[in-house]
Structure 1
Amino acid sequence: MDAITCTCLEEVRQHIDRIDCDLVALLAERGGFVTQAAAFKKTTDDVRAPARVEQVIAKVRALAEASGASPTVVEAVYRAMIAAFIEDELNTHAALSTTA
């Protein structure tokens, strides 16, 4: 997707702010599914799921290439995001394990 051509820095920032609002909402939605996933996983190794992480990275790199985004940037963002979600999911998984 091509960015809209802006005529000033303020306009650029307004578009970035709009996108940030959308991204945060999507992260919240994704987080809700991550929390649900913790209930289906038996071990912390299931939570970490390194093979699944690599599968997601390969998928988003391909999506980045197809959309004209930098695969390197997309991979870095996803690796950071996944690491944060794994930590959160490990906490949820631990809490579920103590109540089970």
Structure 2
Amino acid sequence: MAVTCTTLEEVRSNIDRLDQQIVSLLAERGHYVSQAARFKKDTDGIKAPQRVEQVISKVRDLSHTVGANPDVTEQVYRAMIAAFIQQELVEHAALASHQTT
């Protein structure tokens, strides 16, 4: 829960603390994305537009529940998912090349 800050420095300190947590969570999420590449047969399975929309719907609902801006959450998630899809495509291609050699 966010606290009311009395100085800009206090705001920035709290943002820095949250950034540390967010980046750590992104790293953890990335490890799971890497694992997912092993289970997907092709690039269509990686791109999975239906799954993307399912995740977006879920996080928009969660935003309403926790008091976040659902539009901001959606934009952040769409950017994050696009970046992770690119990572997964690279990893999937590397796995495929190792399997054929």
The TM-score, its normalising length taken from structure 2, stands at: 0.97
Instruction: Tell me the alpha carbon deviations over residues 44-83 of structure 1, each in whole angstroms, 9 at most, x when there is no partner.
Output: 0000000000000000000000111000000000000000
**How many correspondences in the alignment?**
99
Q: CA RMSD in A?
A: 0.5
CA offset at residue 98 of structure 1?
A: 0.4
Unpaired runs of at least 5, structure 1: none
Specify the alignment match of 2:91 in structure 1.
92
Tell me how far apart the structure 2 counterparts of residues 67 and 29 of structure 1 sit (CA, whole Å). Answer: 22
Q: Which runs of 4+ in 1 moved over 2 A?
A: none
Unpaired runs of at least 5, structure 2: none
Instruction: Tell me the alpha carbon deviations over residues 13-39 of structure 1, each in whole angstroms, 9 at most, x when there is no partner.
Output: 000000000000000000000000000
Specify the alignment match of 1:53 in structure 2.
52
* Percent identity between the two aligned chains: 64
Q: Which amino acid aligns with 1:15?
A: N
The TM-score, its normalising length taken from structure 1, stands at: 0.98
